[in-house]
Amino acid sequence: MIVKALWARLGMATLLPVTLVTMTLTPIFTSHLDNQIDSKRLATEAILTSEYDKLLQGMNESFNQILAISEYPMLRRFLESQVASQPPERDTETQQDWRQLESLFETLLTHFGRYTRMAVIDSHGQEWVNTTQALLLPRPRVIDHDANPAFQRAMALKPRDLYISSPRLGATREDGSPARPVIDIAAPIFDHQGERLGVLLFTLDWSRITASLSRVSLEEGARVLMVDAQGRSLLPEGDGGVKDRFGHSLASEWPAIWATMAPNQQGVITLEEHLLGLRTHDIRTHHYRSQAVTIVSDAETQPWHLGILTPRPSLMSQLIKTPTQLLAIVLVYLLSVAFGIFWVLNEHRLRGLRQRALAFSRKAYQYAGEVQDLYEHAPCGYHSLDSDGRVIKINLTELDWLGYRGDEVIGKRYYRDFVTAETRAAFDAAFHQVLGQGKEGSAECELLRRDGSHLPVAIKATAHVTEDGFQYSRAMVFDLSERKNLEMRLERQALTDPLTGLGNRRYLENQAAMEIARAERNGAPLALIAIDLDHFKRINDAHGHDVGDLVLQSFANTAQQQLRAGDVLCRMGGEEFVVLLPDTSRDQALLIAQRLREAIAATPVEVGHLAPESGTLAYSASLGVTLVSAGEKTLRPAIKRADQGLYAAKEAGRNRVEWEEA
């Protein structure tokens, strides 16, 4: 009986401590494991969002660049010269445009590094400029591009539309190294009348666009995935993984992962052994950050799926990483069984819990410090607003942009006070979207700095909502200064005649719309003068195009000196010019035209050794004058009338001013 009771107590002394220890440690490790999973889930989502934004930024920069270049007047003029039957004297100007285009493309190829090829193709499929091939004489070098899918697709597009091919392997390089993946971007080119001139084709080095994905710092066993709608890998060759090689099928090599990625749009999904963070991007519909109207791509390859696959934390993996914890557990069990006394086991368990809690606290404090430092010194601005729009949190980056200290802003200032009056409506609309059902909004606006200067930014905000409702908004702010400066430079180039520095036809149309609207509001007259230089073809034939260019530049300088500050002088093309005269009656317009005609006739052009003995060349101009009639929404009728007056002046012997009644 005593032996049986002893064995019973020994059994209880063994089973009870083991049971108590197991019941105590299970919720602790379960909670710790849940925290590890949540932490890894947040880290995966943050990395994925960052890499997704970088990928879109790189692609949208290229989209906007090709759209801007496709509207260059020089490019249009060059293609128009290939379509039209040009006289021999235009060969020099065409060759000059050709050389300038090649120089521009070589500069872009060298400066940006992401392009492997830039080509200009006319509407017949003939390639006239190609930066990847050495110049071959005699020019032009013409290559048939009718079989090129990018060319064929782009020829069916409208202005400011783009065709984007799916990533493919380019040609094998001359040194025998493997071909790099590339994508083709093609934009149609139109003249000012909407006639299709050809296609601008850029080929991008896909490995440059996705370089950031290849450099993502991930833990062992994690990998970045990027596949198209068919499950084919879009990433360049990996450095050891065979399942992510370019073009290989994730659907066949990793069917379970593909089955999860294909139907889901975004988020972090928990699998049996992994966590899968993913984002889906359809380039045809999600291009709102670019300037393209419509993007066309291969339907069977869209959308693209971007994912980060990381091992899911498990209890065993956590114990293997921390052998001291595993050893402590074994010791607890051994001590509890050996002594069989509950208070020893309980004391040991409490001591272990305190140590682990302290370690967790230190890690949490360290992690919080790193996150805070990342928040404060991020390359973009971060801020949080309450429901009234008052700033409740803002990082140092954005404070430095604004020129304020945190104690001057947090809890004291409304964010919209930093938004300029001109862009405040866009900010208010986005903030109301965050407060509404959408819970997110974005806007481009300008911030007013302390020194009075303006900072163009893009703001993307989301709402933090709990069971109690809206708590605060969280927003990222991106500095758009560099992009805005580039847009302004490109816009100035698109509106200016490069030879004379005057506004071009597009500039005249923009100014005319404003002046016609102003004239309708004020009831003031609006006059128009059409000008054509007399015998300009003779000048080019007799003295060459260099002298002709000097005559055009001299005319522009003389005319600007005679015109008033509000008058608009533009070059329509060749030797044809137009002057728009706001608040000018018939008599005033005729006086201005006569004064301008006399000044031109009295101001010979200094051409030096390029002309006869005197070193100067006299020339004259014929002018047609009319008024823009009430009710006319564009300048076209007035230009037609002024041209009729101009033709009458030509017929009457040139160097005259003729009035054409509206």
pLDDT score, position 589: 94
Q: List, in order, residues 6 or more apart from 455 with CB less than 8 Å away.
A: 401, 402, 446, 447, 449, 479, 481
pLDDT score, position 333: 65
Q: Bridge-partner residues for 419, per DSSP? A: 447
Q: Is 355 left (phi over 0), alpha (psi -120 to 50) or beta?
A: alpha
Contact 492, 504 (CB under 8 A): no
Lowest-confidence segment of 11-25, 145-159, 493-507, 585-599 by average pLDDT: 11-25
Q: Bridge-partner residues for 276, per DSSP? A: 269, 309
pLDDT score, position 191: 85
pLDDT score, position 146: 55
Tell me the pLDDT tens digit for each residue of 524-553: 999 999 999 999 999 898 888 888 999 999
Band the pLDDT of 137: cuts 50, 70, 90.
very low
pLDDT score, position 610: 65
**Residue with the larger pLDDT of the pair 429 and 350:** 429
Beta-strand relationship, 294-297 and 440-448: unpaired
Q: Is the pLDDT of residue 380 over 70?
A: yes
Dist CA 608 CA 613 (whole Å): 9
Q: Bridge-partner residues for 249, per DSSP? A: 232
Q: Bridge-partner residues for 8, per DSSP? A: none
pLDDT score, position 659: 94
Does residue 625 sit in helix, strand or coil?
strand
| Fold designation for 44-319 | Beta-Lactamase (3.30.450)
pTM above 0.85, yes or no: no
Contact 33, 318 (CB under 8 A): yes
pLDDT score, position 237: 65
The token duo for 510 is 């923009």
Element (H, E) at 180: none
**Burial bucket for residue 291 (CB in 10 Å: 0-12, 13-18, 19+):** middle
Dist CA 323 CA 383 (whole Å): 42
Q: Is the pLDDT of residue 262 over 60?
A: yes
Q: Is the peptide bond before 604 cis (omega within 30 degrees of 0)?
A: no
Tell me the pLDDT tens digit for each residue of 546-567: 889 999 999 999 999 999 998 9
**Residue with the larger pLDDT of the pair 646 and 12:** 646
**Burial bucket for residue 188 (CB in 10 Å: 0-12, 13-18, 19+):** buried
The token duo for 453 is 């200067």
- DSSP tally for the chain: helices H, then strands E: 20, 23
Q: What is the DSSP letter of 84?
A: S
Contact 564, 583 (CB under 8 A): no
Rg of the chain (C-alpha set): 36
How many residues make up the chain in this entry?
662
pLDDT score, position 13: 62
Dihedral sign, Cα of residue 512, residue 513, residue 518, residue 520: positive
How many other CB atoms are found less than 10 A from the CB of residue 181? 23
pLDDT score, position 344: 45
Dist CA 42 CA 502 (whole Å): 56
Dist CA 552 CA 556 (whole Å): 6
Dist CA 52 CA 33 (whole Å): 28
68-72, 593-597, 633-637, range with greatest mean pLDDT: 593-597
In the predicted model, what is the mean pLDDT of the chain?
80
Q: List, in order, residues 6 or more apart from 269 with CB less than 8 Å away.
A: 260, 275, 276, 277, 278
User: DSSP for 418-477?
Assistant: GB-TTTHHHHHHHHHHHHSTT-EEEEEEEEE-TTS-EEEEEEEEEEEEETTEEEEEEEEE
Dist CA 593 CA 529 (whole Å): 7
pLDDT score, position 339: 59
pLDDT score, position 556: 93
The token duo for 252 is 């066949």
Q: Same topology for domains 381-480 and 496-659, yes or no?
A: no
How far from 375 is each of 291, 297, 405, 457, 462, CA to CA, in Å?
30, 37, 16, 18, 16
| Fold designation for 381-480 | Beta-Lactamase (3.30.450)
The CATH classification of domain 496-659, taken from the options 3.40.50.720, 3.40.50.1820, 1.10.357.10, 3.30.70.270? 3.30.70.270
Element (H, E) at 183: strand 181-190
Residues 511-536: what's their mean pLDDT? Answer: 92
Contact 526, 584 (CB under 8 A): yes
Residues 271-277: what's their mean pLDDT? Answer: 79
Residues 154-158: what's their mean pLDDT? Answer: 86
The token duo for 649 is 């002046």
User: DSSP for 107-141?
Assistant: HHHHHH--EEEEEEEETTSBEEEETTS---SSSPP
Q: Bridge-partner residues for 460, per DSSP? A: 442, 476
Which backbone phi and psi does 117 adopt, to 5 degrees?
-165, 140
Residues 460-484: what's their mean pLDDT? Answer: 80
Does residue 177 sit in helix, strand or coil?
coil
Report the interhelical angle of 91-112 vs 73-83 (nearest 10°): 140
The token duo for 102 is 């090649």
Dist CA 654 CA 647 (whole Å): 9
CA nearest to 154, candidates 197, 109, 205: 197
Q: Is the pLDDT of residue 443 over 50?
A: yes
Domain ranges of the chain: 2-38+320-376, 44-319, 381-480, 496-659
